[in-house]
Structure 1
Amino acid sequence: MASKRVSCSYCAVQITVPPHTHAIHCAVCQTITRVQPNDPLVQAHNSVRHATSKLKDMLNTASSNIHMMVATMNNNSGSRTSGSGYYPQARPLPSMAPVSTHGSKRAVLCGVSYNGQRYRLNGTVNDVKCMRYFLIQKLGFPSDCILVLTEEESDPSLIPTKNNIRKALKWLVQGCQSGDSLIFHYSGHGSQQPDFNMDEVDGYDEMLWPVDHQTEGTILDDEINATIVRPLPRGARLHAIVDACHSGTVLDLPFVCRMERDGKYMWENQGCKSAIYKGTSGGLAVTLSACDDHQVSVDTTALSGNASTGAMTYSFIQAAQNEPGLTYGRLLNAMRQTIRDTNIGSHLNGPVKSLLKKVLHPKSPQVPQLSSSETFDVYSKHFVP
């Protein structure tokens, strides 16, 4: 049976879901809507909400234009044009400008150092710089289509706070079309909490830590999935490269690749636990994460000499640039081999070292993981970001 489009009961945004979905979680307004197939009252109710939402958008746009015109008339400064008079300098930040070109590439790179906090990380900014260089020089991503959030940025909107990370994730999928390639790279802390909506196989939700997580809270896997996974249209690709502890299923993708040390693998369906659809709107979403949900990852100098890096970020870039066109299976195995071959435990950095020594077991190091919105043969499908 074909998939169908369902309207959010609050903001009326259209979401594509499989035919037997019982509920949807809106990525725009975060409202959960129970799906009632072929109910004319519900459809009429949603149509009214949709029309009301459109009218509000039109009024807000008109109001913004009027305010801009008034501000322009009251301000004599501006940039001179080739003709007479001035035009206002009302333009969005280049880094947040929407990208709508068909077949475009864009990325969000987020490195959180937690400066001034006892669990500060040393390698996250290096991870982001390396990833940016790799995307531009090796994969052909335009530099002005890469949004970087670190604590080194002078622009307050590019500090990796919870609000700024949320905005960046929405920017990433804004106007996404078939043929687009999206990258989300995160280097920072991650953790778990008990699963309260009963959609996790292991009973825990995974989360990322913004720099202001102590006051504003963390970002749950449920929200990340709703924001950048479910809106992904047919023909578009999303790759999330997450260098954090407990990050195995941090995008809540339905399928996890369980690969043994000898390379044998099977796909584990974790989507069957949830009544809420966790897949895409037809596109392909893939996560390469630093470790399994129960494991921790490290910030280390063992791989790159004196410079601190995340073990996962370093091993990913090394494998992907040394062997262009490799398959997902080959990529995952190469990353795991690099980490296995490195004596990471003796190179742990900073205040995190004493903490990790308590939880790291020499027989249970971090093992990079692969999860996806759909199953495929990992040894024949090529990694094409």
Structure 2
Amino acid sequence: MILSLGWLVEGSRAGDSLVFYYSGHGSQVRDRDGDEVDGYDESLMPVDYETEGRILDDELTAIIVRPLPRGATLHAIVDTCSSGTFLDLTNVCRINRQAYYKWEDHSPPNGANKGTSGGLAISISACDDHQRSGDTTLYAFTGVPMGALTYSFVQTLEQAKRVSYGHLMVALRNRIGAVQQALGTSTVLFSHV
């Protein structure tokens, strides 16, 4: 997985639009280098994490965010628990159930560089860092276990010919609204650097 992540950005240049999508297990571990506002690193838990270890957000930032060259764009869709600030991007937009949004500064407390090499990184997360993402309730709607963010994202893109980030976020919030009521969790987060 680490090699594939490196392949994603290797050789990228201005005009490239890259996509990183992850739907699976995620968790948090205590931050050891002082770069997290909340004191926890987020981590992907691939199927072999028990033998090969977790993939921390710090690693993802070093592999797919920091090398992103000027003019290239990375779109990340992270449908997992504890996914709110998964790529450690410095600007986070929180959208609540009433469709109000606010931007938060998530610059690392220790001053670490979490930016790109001039490119744009955008991440759409299934829930906040301290939350669990919803999936099992969707089984009733689809007949297939699927993350609420994944389902809503696919439905939105299938029904829209052209979509702006703003339209995408509102549509995701609206679609996830029903699932949020059923689960009592999930906040759509949009972050960028």
TMscore range, shorter length: over 0.9
Q: Aligned partners of 1:328 and 1:298: how far apart in 2?
A: 22
Indicate the SS of the match to 1:340: helix
Tell which structure's C-alpha radius of gyration is larger: 1
- Which of 145, 168, 171 is residue 331 of structure 1 equivalent to? 168
Please give the per-residue CA displacement for 1:148-203, whole angstroms capped at 9, x wherever unaligned.
xxxxxxxxxxxxxxxxx100000000101101110011111000011111111111
Select 1:256's aligned residue among 89, 92, 96: 92
The corresponding residue for 1:31 is: none
Q: Who is 1:322 aligned against?
A: 159
Residue 344 of structure 1: how far off its partner (Å): 7.8
Paired AA for residue 32 in structure 2: F
What are structure 2's unaligned runs of at least 5 residues?
Answer: none
Residue 238 of structure 1 aligns to a residue in which SS?
Answer: strand
Correspondence list, 1:329-368, <5 A: 329-342=166-179, 345=182, 364-368=184-188
8 Å CA contact 2:108–2:114 kept in 1: the answer is no
Moved over 6 A (4+): none
Structure 1, unpaired ranges of 5+: 1-164, 346-361, 374-385
In 1, Cα distance between the equivalents of 2:57 and 2:115? 13
After superposition, the CA RMSD in angstroms is 1.7
Cross-structure match for 1:189: 25
Aligned CA distance change for structure 1 residues 274 and 302 (closer, same or farther; 3 Å) = farther
Deviations 1:85-128 (A, max 9, x none): xxxxxxxxxxxxxxxxxxxxxxxxxxxxxxxxxxxxxxxxxxxx
Deviations 1:326-350 (A, max 9, x none): 22222122212212224885xxxxx
**Distance in 2 between the 1:179 and 1:303 partners?**
38
Secondary structure of 1:273 counterpart: coil
Contact preservation (8 Å) 1:303, 1:311: no
Matching residue of 1:296:
132
Query: Does structure 2 retain, via aligned residues, the 8 Å contact 1:302–1:344?
Result: no
Aligned residues: percent identity? 53
Look up the equivalent residue of 1:303 and give its one-letter code: F
Tell me how far 1:206 sits from its aligned partner.
Answer: 0.2
Q: Cα–Cα, structure 1 residues 307 and 344, in superposed 2: closer, same or farther, change >3 Å?
A: farther
Contact 1:303 1:314 (8 Å CA) reproduced:
no
